[in-house]
Amino acid sequence: MKRRSVIIAAAGVVPLSGCSLSPSESGNIQIANQTGQEVWKEISIQSEGGLFSDPQTVYDTRTRQPPTTSYRSTLTDVVPPGNYEVTITFESVETEQQSGPHTTQWNPTGEKSESLIISLGPDFDVEFFTQ
pTM: 0.75
- Cβ-proximal residues to 80 (8 Å cutoff; 6+ apart), any chain: 24, 26, 27, 108, 110
Q: What is the pLDDT of residues 51-86, one digit of tens each?
A: 787 889 999 999 999 998 777 888 888 899 999 999
35 sits in the region (left: phi over 0; alpha: psi -120 to 50; else beta) called alpha
Query: How far apart are the two ends of the chain, measured CA to CA in Å?
Result: 55
127 φ/ψ angles, rounded to the nearest 5 degrees:
-130, 145
Q: What is the pLDDT of residues 116-128, one digit of tens each?
A: 999 999 999 999 9
